[in-house]
A and B are shown apart, each in its own frame.
Chain A
Amino acid sequence: MRAQIAIAVSALVLVLVLGYQLPSVPTRPPPTGAEAAMTPRPECVADSDEQTQFSGPPRGWSLGEVSVQVTLSGCELVEVAAELETTNPLSERRSTGALERLRSAVLSSQCADVDAVSGATGTSEAYLGSLQAALDAANAGAPC
C-alpha cells in the first residue's frame, strides 16, 4: 500500500513538473522519477450500501501537503474531506487547517441587488428562470 502511494505521488509530481510554467501558474516541486499515472479511483458497486473510503495520496506543493478523503456509499458520494497543511511558517497563505466544508443549504439565500449571476445560466431556456429569479430577488429586499 505504501509502495503504491509512493509511486502515485512520484507519478503525480512527474506529471506536474512536465507542465509549462506561466507567470500565473503555481510553482511545482522538482521531479523524483517514475512514470506518469492517473490517481487511482476506487472500484464501486452501484446501488449498494457498502461504504468505502478512498484517500488521495498526500501531495507536496510549494506550500505544504494536501490530502483528500472521499467516502462513497455504493457509488454515491457521501462525504469528502480535504486537509491543507502548510509547512512554510513564512507563507502568506496561512492554512486554515482543513479546507472548510459547509452545506450549501446553510449559505443559500435570496440575494438582493446583484448586477449579474455567475453559474447556472448555461442555456437560454434556463436563463429565463434564473434571471427572473435573480431580478425578483433583487427587489425582494433581502440583503445579500
Chain B
Amino acid sequence: MLTGGRRVPLPSLSHETGAHGTGRSANPSPPQHLHPEPGPPPQSDGRPAAPSGADGERAAHGAHSAARPQRVEHHVEHIMGIPISIAVRTGGPGDLPAAATLAAVSEAFASLRRADELFSPFKPDSQVSQLRDRRMTLAGCDPDVRAVLRICDDLRRATGGSFDACAAGPDQLDPCGVVKGWAAERASDLLAAAGVTAHSVNAGGDVHLRGRPAADRRWRVGIADPHRPGNLLTAVHGENLAVATSGTAERGLHVIDPRRGMPAAELASVTVVGPSLTTADGYATAAVAMGFEALPWLADLDAYEAFVVDAGQGVWWTAGFPHHAPDLERKAASR
C-alpha cells in the first residue's frame, strides 16, 4: 500500500457526463479541475517539494498565480464512460493566455462528447447503434463514422483479422477498440491547432503526448501493473508520442478473439507506443486478442514498440521499447 504523500482532492463522480445507457443528451457539467502544486523548486535531493496539505496547496497556488509560473494543469471529464484527462502546459512564455487555453480544452472535451454521441454502442440513438439495428445506412452516416469504420477495416487486414470491429458477431458492430484512441488523437489535434502546443490527452489509458511540459523534461506516462492496481511497472518518457494500453484487467475479459470467438485471456495488458494513437490503440487491442502470438507480431512492427504483461505475470518488451522507457534496462539489470 502507498503511504505518505499528499492527497489531492479528486473530482466527485456526481457530475458524470455521457454515462452509459442513460440516453441523456450531452449537457456538460463544468469540467473538473485538478491543480497540482504550481511548481516549487525540487528539494536538494531531487524529490519534488511537498506542501503541507490542501490548504498549503491552495495558498501556494494563490501566491504563485500572480507570478504565472509555467506549470501543468489537469482537466478531467468523464465521457464515453471513462475518465478523460487533459493536461496542458500553461503560464509560461509561448503559452496561450489562460482563457484561450481553457477555451481550447473545452473544445477538445466537446469533440470527445460528439464522438461519444456518434459511436457509443450503449446509446440507443448513436449512429453505431442505428447501424447495428439497420435504422441507418453507412451512406447516411456522419463522415467521421465512415472514416472510423474504414480505419477498422484497415486494421482488420493489417492484423490478419485479430482486430475486428464485428468480432462479437456480424450484428454486433463495436468499433470501441479504435474509437477511444481516434477521438483522443483528434482532441489533441484540436488543441495543437488552437495553439496549445504542449499537452497530454489521456482517454482512459490511451495517451497522446505533444510538446514538453517543461523545457527540461518530457512527458512521463506510467504503465500500470494489471496485476497490482495502483502500482506502475515503468514509465514512458516522450514528446509527440502516442501510448495506448489494452487489456483484460479493468473490464474483465472484454476483448474477443475474433478467430476463436472467445474472450482473449493470455495477456493481461499490452502497451503500444508510436506516432499515431489511433493505430497504437488498434494494435494494442489486436495484440490482446492474439494472445502469445502477439509477441512476434509486435516485435516485427515498424515504428511501433510494445510492452506486454501476460496473465502469468511475465513482462515482455520489444527491443526498441527501452528507448522510450529509460528506467527499464536499469530495473531489469538490477533484479
Contact = CB atoms under 8 A, between A and B. Distances in A.
B231 interface: yes
A41 B257 CA distance: 13
Scoring B46, B222, B231, B274 by chain A CB atoms within 10 A of each residue's CB, the highest score goes to B222
Interface in B114-167: 154, 157-161
A1 interface: no
A124 B78 contact: yes
A19 B160 contact: yes
B171 interface: no
B260 to A, nearest CB: 7
Nearest to B294: A68
B266 A118 contact: no
B100 interface: no
Given A19-B160, A24-B301, A110-B232, A123 B205 contact: no
Given A68-B295, A103-B315, A138 B48 contact: yes
Interface in B189-218: 200, 202, 204-207, 213
Contacts of B304: 24
Contacts of A102: 314-315, 332, 335
A99 B319 CA distance: 8
B251 A122 contact: yes
A15 interface: yes
B7 A132 contact: yes
Contacts of A107: 225, 233-234, 315, 328, 331-332
Contact of A123 (B82, B158, B244): B82
A38 interface: yes
A51 interface: no
Contacts, number: 276
> How many residues of A sit at the interface, in one of the four size bands?
35 or more
Contact of B2 (A66, A119, A127, A140): A140
A115 interface: yes
Interface stretch (B8-16, B22-30, B59-67, B105-113): B8-16
A108 interface: yes
Nearest to B311: A77
Given A133-B230, A136-B7, A68 B332 contact: no
Scoring B72, B160, B311 by chain A CB atoms within 10 A of each residue's CB, the highest score goes to B160
Interface in B216-252: 219-236, 243-245, 247, 249-251
B55 interface: no
Interface string B288-320: 000011011101111110000111111111011
Given A84-B296, A102-B335, A104-B309, A119 B205 contact: yes
B296 A118 contact: no
A104 B5 contact: no
A104 B219 contact: no
Contacts of A127: 82-83, 204
Given A102-B335, A123-B81, A108 B233 contact: yes
A66 B300 CA distance: 10
Nearest to B325: A144
B271 interface: yes
A137 B224 contact: no
Given A84-B299, A122-B204, A103 B314 contact: yes
A68 B293 contact: yes
B299 A66 contact: yes
Contacts of A5: none
Interface of A: 15-16, 19-20, 22, 24-26, 38-39, 41, 56, 59, 61-63, 66, 68, 70, 77-80, 82, 84, 93-96, 99-141, 143-144
5 contacts: A96-B319, A102-B314, A115-B72, A116-B200, A140-B3
Given A24-B276, A111-B234, A130-B229, 5 more contacts: A77-B312, A117-B202, A119-B222, A127-B83, A130-B224
